[in-house]
Amino acid sequence: MTGTDRPGEEGFALVLALLALMVLAAIATAAAAAAMSQLRAAGMAGRVMAARGAAVGAVERVFAETLGPPLAGIGGEAVEMAADTSADFGRWRVLDLRLEREFHLLVGEAAVGGGVPIRVARVAWWLEPESRVAAYRAVVESASTAVDASARVLADSLLAGREGLAACNDVAFLAETMGGGLVAQTGGLPQPPEWGAGDDGASFENVRLGWFDGPALAALADIDLSGGGTLVPGCPDCWSGLTVGTERVLVASPGAGVLVVDGDLTIANGVAWTGLVLVSGDAIMENGARILGLVRAGGTVTLGANAVVDGSACAAVEALKTVGSLSRPIPLPGRSWIGPVPPGME
């Protein structure tokens, strides 16, 4: 008798076949489900990565395009700086969360394909003129000074007005940090990050203004004296913005603004400068020269006969305010990215 002649075997074989088909179907279903799950996970991961890239790009765009003072208040709510909708990435926006007077957290947010918004953030420094000036502990800060007997460094009217210059004693932050004899006539150089490189990188070694290093200041200059030369301001009675020079710079006629020299500076006989002066090397004020503002030099500051440095926080603040290119957020060097940022922290 053959296998097919036994009673009931056909039904048993059919049951086995059906069971086998069910097992195969279950395996196929599980495999399909696993494949779909992997595809969904891959798709989600792809959307998350795309959203993160869009958020990072939004923050970098804000760094590149923003000019002007910040709108966010210290410890206040985050302020939306920019927002848009992209065909590729959906809606994105950047928020400014102000941590301190000059430190901010720029939070980028983006979502792709209707997914959960992804947030990243970067720590930024944003120059505030009052904070830059309030860091001074002397009218002339330098490695050393050489002052003629007839020359003077004045520190008794730092917050007072002058002809054509409004007083700034109503600025509470300046009054608290610079009023009441808190600022000396002359003093040594401050430590990084006010001056010098420290661990911040070689580009901060010679001159710096907060987190603007020498190359950044040169790139933003209104007047470029690279390689040295003679500065003859076109308008002695108005602000000339940011002047950046190297090697040896001679100021031959009156001017006003922020003067940065990566090298040595000479202010000629009888010439006056109003504002903020930063020099990596020596600063020489010839006979009768005058500075209304604040001075910081990495070398020796020399005052000739009858030369005067009339300390004025107001002049230094006003000089910084007139340089629009300095009013921008810049990312802190090094590892300043933070992410992912949880919802609601802003």
Answer whether residue 13 is part of any domain.
no
- Give the whole-number percent of the chain exceeding pLDDT 90: 66
This prediction has a pTM of 0.82
Q: What is the pLDDT of residues 130-159, one digit of tens each?
A: 999 999 999 999 999 999 999 999 999 999
The strand ranges marked E within the chain are 79-86, 90-98, 103-110, 118-126, 138-147, 152-154, 184-187, 208-209, 212-213, 223-225, 229-231, 242-251, 255-267, 272-279, 283-285, 290-303, 308-311, 329-331, 337-338
- Looking at the fold, whether 107 and 173 belong to one and the same domain comes out as no
- Looking at the fold, whether 164 and 289 belong to one and the same domain comes out as yes
Q: CA dist 255 to 258, 271, 321, Å?
A: 10, 8, 16
The closest of 115, 119, 109 to 45, measured between CA atoms, is: 115
- Looking at the fold, whether 101 and 215 belong to one and the same domain comes out as no
Answer whether residue 232 is part of any domain.
yes
Higher pLDDT, 91 or 131: 131
Domain range enclosing 227 = 129-326
The closest of 258, 255, 308, 246 to 132, measured between CA atoms, is: 258
- Looking at the fold, whether 172 and 97 belong to one and the same domain comes out as no
Please, which residues bridge with residue 98 across strands?
Answer: 104
Q: What is the pLDDT of residues 60-87, one digit of tens each?
A: 999 999 999 999 999 899 999 999 887 6
Q: What total of structural domains would you count in the chain?
A: 2
- Looking at the fold, whether 198 and 321 belong to one and the same domain comes out as yes
Q: What is the pLDDT at residue 161? A: 95
- Looking at the fold, whether 227 and 241 belong to one and the same domain comes out as yes
Please, which residues bridge with residue 104 across strands?
Answer: 98, 124
Name the phi and psi angles at 232, rounded to 5.
-125, 90
| pLDDT range class, residue 21, cuts 50, 70, 90 | very low
Q: What is the pLDDT at residue 116? A: 76
Q: What is the pLDDT at residue 39? A: 42
- Looking at the fold, whether 79 and 220 belong to one and the same domain comes out as no
Answer whether residue 35 is part of any domain.
no
- Looking at the fold, whether 193 and 307 belong to one and the same domain comes out as yes
Provide the token pair at 16.
Answer: 């086995």
Q: What is the pLDDT of residues 262-314, one digit of tens each?
A: 999 999 999 999 999 999 999 999 999 999 999 999 999 999 999 999 999 99
**Which residue is it, tokens 């600025």?**
171
